Structure 1
Amino acid sequence: MIIIVFLCLYLATNNYYIVDGRITSISQDQEDLDVETQLKLINKPPLKTIHADGYIVDCIDINKQPAFDNPLLKNHKIQLKPSFEVTSTKSTRLSSIGIEEDLCPEGTVPIRRTTKDDLIRTKYLSDMNARILNKDIRGRHYAGVKMKKDATRYLEIGGIIDTYNLPVQNPDQITSAYIYLSNGGSENDKNIIMTGWEVHPRVFGDGQTYFFTRWADKTRNKGCTNLICPGFVQIDKSFPLGTPVGPASTYNGKQREMSVAISHDPKTKNWWVRLQNKSLGYYPEILFSNLAFANLGGWTGMTSTPPGIPSPPMGSGHFPDKSLLRSCYIRQMYFRDNAFFNRVPEDMDAKPFTDSSCYDVKYNGWDAKVKGYLMLFGGPGGKCGE
C-alpha cells in the first residue's frame, strides 16, 4: 500500500500517465504542442496587429471575437449600440485611461493577444471567479456604500472612480475599487456584474492597475474577468480589455479618474458596460440564470489576501479625510430605477459600510465641491482580524 501511495504521488507530480498498465511519459514537446493548439483556437486571425507596451493587440472581425466561442452565444445576434439614452458623466480631473478613436478599423474589435503565460493563469483561474465574489471568504474586506435590497429594480449604476496603483505582497492579493449590480436571494445564487480598477497579479500577470469588468452566475458556477472566458461581447473598436491604467493618481498630488457605468437594455435585456462615456460592449442576458434586473447595487473598495498574509492597502493606502488629493473616492454616484429615471443614493437610503478596522469610508451624500454625491474610502491594510 505504501508503494502504491508513493507511486501515485510520483505520477501526480511528474508528467506521466498510465496506458494499459504501463507508465508512459508525456514529452515536453507534446505539452508545448497542446498549448500552441489551444492558442491558435483562442487567438483569431487578425485583420490588423498593434504592438503596445509589452503586449500585442489584434483587430479581430467583430463576428469572430472570443465571446462566440461560448456555446450559449452560438446563434447570438450582435447589438451594435444601446437602445437607451446613455448617461454621460463629465470629469473635471485628468483621465486615467486614454482611448484611441481609431485603434482598429470598422467591423473589428481590439482583443489583447493571449500568450502561453496567460493560458497557464487561465487554467489556474478556472474556478476562481466565483470565489472572488464570495464576501464571506476569510481575508476579504470591503468599504463602500450600498443600496438597500427591496422591491426596487436597479437598471443602471455609475460613478467616477479615483484611480491608484497600490503595492501588493503576494500574487493572490487583490486591491480594487468598483461599482456593481447584482440579483439573487443569497450568496449561493448571486448573479453579478462589476467594473472598475484592480491590482491582482494572478489575473493580470503583474502588479499594475488594470481596468476590469467581471461577471458571475453562482448558481451555475460560471463567470470570469474581462475575456479570460468567452461571454463579454465587445463592440467598441478603440479600447482593448486587459489594458493597464496609467498613470494613476498620486497621493497629495495629481488625481486620475475613470468614469464607469453598468446599464440594462430594456429592449434586448443585455447588460452594457461603459468606460469614459463609451459603450465598450455588453453581457448577453442568456449568460445569467437570474439577472433580468438587479435588486442590489453599490460603490465599493475591496481587498483580499491569502491566510496568514496581512491585507494590502485599499484606495490611496490611507484612511479617508476631507481632502480629495489624499483620499481615494467615487463621485457623481447615481443609479437608474425600474422607471429608468436617474436617481441618487439618498433616494434608496444608501448606507456606508466597512467590515474591518483596517479601512474606513466617509459618505455625506451631496458634496458641493464636486457637484454630486461623493464617498471617500481606503486604509493601510495590515492584520485585519483574520
Structure 2
Amino acid sequence: MNPSKDGQLLTEKETFTQLWNSYGKCPKGTIPVRRTKKEDILRASSVKSYGKKRFSTFAQLNSIDPDLVNQNGHQHAIAYAQGQFYGAKATMNVWNPKIQQSNEFSLSQIWLLGGSFASDLNSIEAGWQVSPDLYGDNNTRLFIYWTSDAYQATGCYNLMCSGFIQTNNEIAMGGSISPISQFDSSQYDITILIWKDPDEGNWWLQFGNGKVLGYWPATLFSYLTDSASLIEWGGEVVNTASDGQHTTTQMGSGQFPQEGFRKASYFRNIQIVDESNSLRDPKDVNTFSEQPDCYDVQTGKNGDWGSHFYYGGPGRNTKCP
C-alpha cells in the first residue's frame, strides 16, 4: 500500500484551483462569498435549517460507542487521537464520490472536538465534500463547519452564518475544487492545518503550505476556548436508504483501503499541535468504522508519509447489502 515514487503524486500547491478563480480575484479588503440563491433555500427543510448539519455526527470523547454514533444514518471511517491538543494537520487526496440520493452527502475532513456529545459538543471541521442538497450539484467543494452545542442551534457550513472570520481573498468557502484525483491515475491532494493562537485563543485555518484563510474566534466556544480533547481525520457519509438496502453513496474514492495508492483515498502526514505550539505525530492513533464491509480504514507509517491511513468504500456491495 506504499505510494508510488514515479512522480504522479501532485500537491495542491502545484495544481489547486477553484472555478471562480478564472474570473480573477477579490480586491484587497474583500473576500469571496458564495452567492445564496432561492433554490438553495428551497432545498432545505426550513430557512432555519439551511446551512446546518441535519443530524449529529460522530464524537464521543470518553468512549467510542457504536450504538450512539450509528444514529441518523451517519457512517464513518476515521482515525482518531485523544488527549490535549491545540491543532491538527493532514494532507488528503481529493475525489468526487457518487451520491445516491440528494439528501445524502460524502465528505473527508479534520475534526477538532471538545465537550460532551449529548448537548454541548464543540466542533471545528474542515475538508472537502459533495453535498447535492446543500449546493445543488455534485461538485467536490472545500468546506468548513463549526458548532458549540452538538449541532443543535449554533454553527453552520462555510460563511452561511456569523462565526468564522475569513481574511483571505483568494479562496472561496464552498467553492468547487479542481482538479480531482482519478482512479489508477494522477492523484491531487490538499493540506489543511488548524491551530490555536496561544495569545488570543482563536483557532486559525491554513490551506496548503501558507494560505491563512481566517479564524474561528475563541468566544464562539466553551470547551474549545482551552484545547481540543479529540482529533479525528477521515470520511463521513449519510445513509438515508429506506428500502432495506444500504446506500450506494461512496466514501472517498469509492474503493476500500486495501486497494492502496492511486485507487483508495488517503490521509497522509497526519499531525497534532502540542502544548508548545509545535507540530508532531500523534502518539496513539486508533481507528473506527461502524460497518467495515461498507466503509473501512487501515493505518500505516513510513518515512515519506509519516502517520497515514487509507479509508473509504463503495457503500452497498455483496458484503454490505
TM-score with structure 2 setting the length = 0.83
Instruction: Quote the residue 2:143 is aligned against.
Output: 212
Deviation at 1:352, TM superposition (A): 1.7
8 A Cα contact 2:41 2:47, kept in partner: no
CA distance in 2, matches of 1:167, 1:371: 27
Mapping for residues 28-177 of structure 1, pairs under 5 Å: 93-95=10-12, 97-98=16-17, 103-121=25-43, 124=46, 126-127=48-49, 128-129=52-53, 131-133=55-57, 135-148=69-82, 152-177=83-108
Instruction: Quote the residue 1:61 is aligned against.
Output: none
Instruction: Quote the residue 2:192 is aligned against.
Output: 260
The structure having more radius of gyration, on CA atoms, is 1
Instruction: Quote the residue 2:260 is aligned against.
Output: 323
Deviation at 1:239, TM superposition (A): 1.0
8 A Cα contact 1:301 1:315, kept in partner: yes
Structure 1 letter corresponding to 2:272: F
CA distance in 2, matches of 1:298, 1:125: 30
SS at match of 1:177: strand
Change (3 A) 1:198 1:167: same
Structure 2 letter corresponding to 1:341: S
Structure 1 letter corresponding to 2:218: E
TM-superposition CA deviations, 1:273-316 (whole Å, max 9, x none): 22123111111111223211111112111111224163311111
- Which protein has greater RCO, CA pairs closer than 8 Å, 6+ apart? 2
1:229 counterpart = 2:149: no
Q: 2:217 pairs with 269, 284, 289, which one?
A: 284
CA distance in 1, matches of 2:43, 2:311: 31
TM-superposition CA deviations, 1:15-58 (whole Å, max 9, x none): xxxxxxxxxxxxxxxxxxxxxxxxxxxxxxxxxxxxxxxxxxxx
TM-superposition CA deviations, 1:313-357 (whole Å, max 9, x none): 111111112631111000011011122222212x1x111221102
TM-superposition CA deviations, 1:243-286 (whole Å, max 9, x none): 11122111111111111121111111111122123111111111
Q: Which runs of 5+ in 1 are unaligned?
A: 1-90
1:241 counterpart = 2:173: yes
Mapping for residues 305-316 of structure 1, pairs under 5 Å: 305-308=239-242, 310-311=246-247, 312-316=249-253
Instruction: Quote the residue 2:4 is aligned against.
Output: none
SS at match of 1:118: helix
Instruction: Quote the residue 1:23 is aligned against.
Output: none
Structure 1 letter corresponding to 2:257: P
Instruction: Quote the residue 1:338 is aligned against.
Output: 275
Structure 2 letter corresponding to 1:317: G
8 A Cα contact 2:44 2:133, kept in partner: no
Deviation at 1:186, TM superposition (A): 3.1
Deviation at 1:141, TM superposition (A): 0.9
TM-superposition CA deviations, 1:162-181 (whole Å, max 9, x none): 11101111111111111110
CA distance in 2, matches of 1:385, 1:142: 14
Instruction: Quote the residue 1:10 is aligned against.
Output: none
SS at match of 1:129: coil
CA distance in 2, matches of 1:269, 1:121: 36
How many percent of aligned residue pairs carry the same amino acid? 29
TM-superposition CA deviations, 1:154-201 (whole Å, max 9, x none): 111011111110111111111111111010033422100111111111
TM-score with structure 1 setting the length = 0.69
Structure 2 letter corresponding to 1:201: P
1:197 counterpart = 2:128: yes
Q: 2:297 pairs with 344, 361, 383, which one?
A: 361
